[in-house]
Amino acid sequence: FVHGSFHSAWCWDNFSSFFAEKGIQSHAISLRGTSKSPLADGMKTPKLQDHVGDMLELVQQLSPDRPPTFVVHSIGGLVMMKYLEAGLKAKAIAFFCSVPPSGNSPMTKRYIQRLQIRESWNIVYGLAMKKVTSDPKLARALFFTPEDDDELVRTTMRHFNDDRDSIIDLVDASSNLPDKFTDKGTGRASWFNSETTEVFVFGAENDYIVDREGVEELGKFFNTSPEILKAFPHDIMLTRRWKEVAETLCSRLAPILSEVET
C-alpha cells in the first residue's frame, strides 16, 4: 500500500486489517519524511525519485524474487508511475483517486474554468498552504464526506500535521511528470506492458482533488476503463464506508492473488 501527500502507512490500517482477516499478507510503506521519519542530510523536500527509491528498497526486502501487487492513492500514483517508468516490475496495480500523468495543475485549471472557485481555492489553501492540518471544515471538504464523524476528521488531521513536512518537491515533480512518455496518438504510456502488469483505475464521485477528467486520463494512460466509486470522497480508505471499497478491491485482485498463492 502506497500513500499520498499528508498521509503515511497509518492511512491503510483499515485495509491492512481487512486483508489480514482474509489471510492475505500486506505491507504499507511510509515514504521518507512521513510519520516524522528522517530525510537525508541536506534534503528539505523529497523528490519523486526519492520515493521510488523507498519503494524499491521495500520490494527488495519483502519480495525480491517476484513482482508485488501495489495499491496506491493520490500522489502515490505518480510515484508508482515513475517506478514503472524506471523499468521496475509490478504484478498488478490498483490506483485510487490518483493524480494523473499530467499532474495537479491541469485539474486545478479545470476547476477554475468551470467557475468552481471554492474547490480551486480549497486545493491551493488546503494543500499547497497546508491548512488541512488546522482547518476541520477544509479537511472534511477535501478528504471526507458530510456524514463522516468529527472525531475521524480530527484524528486524521493530527496525522496530517505529522506528515506535513514530507510534501514532495513540486518544482521537481512538475518537470518530471509521467505524461512526457505518453504516446501522442493513443494517450497511453509508451513503456507500459499490459501483458505483464494488470492495472485497475478507481476514481471517487465526490473527490474534489482529482476530477473525473484526471481519472479518465489515467485510465487511457494504462489502456483500461476506470471505475467510479459512487458517493465516495478522496480518502476512500478512511471514510466511514471504506469496507465497501476494500471488498471491491479484494474482488478485483482475487484472481491475481490466487495465482501468487499457487
Query: Residue 41 has what pLDDT?
Result: 61
262 has pLDDT over 50? no
210 has pLDDT over 80? yes
Mean pLDDT, range 165-174, rounded to an integer: 82
Mean pLDDT, range 188-217, rounded to an integer: 96
98 has pLDDT over 90? yes
Cα(194)–Cα(14) distance, rounded to whole angstroms?
29
Mean pLDDT, range 93-100, rounded to an integer: 98
Q: Which among 100, 98, 110 has a CA at the least distance from the CA of 203?
A: 98
**More confident call, 211 vs 125:** 211
What angle do the packed helices 105-113 and 212-221 form, to 10 degrees? Answer: 140
* CA angle in degrees (0–180, nearest 5) for 13-17-132: 15
Q: What does the pLDDT look like over 8-31, one tens digit per residue?
A: 999 999 999 999 999 999 999 999
253 has pLDDT over 90? yes
Mean pLDDT, range 180-202, rounded to an integer: 93
Mean pLDDT, range 89-93, rounded to an integer: 97
Q: Which among 100, 127, 119, 147 has a CA at the least distance from the CA of 241?
A: 147
Cα(144)–Cα(138) distance, rounded to whole angstroms?
10
Q: What does the pLDDT look like over 57-87, one tens digit per residue?
A: 999 999 999 999 999 999 999 999 999 999 9
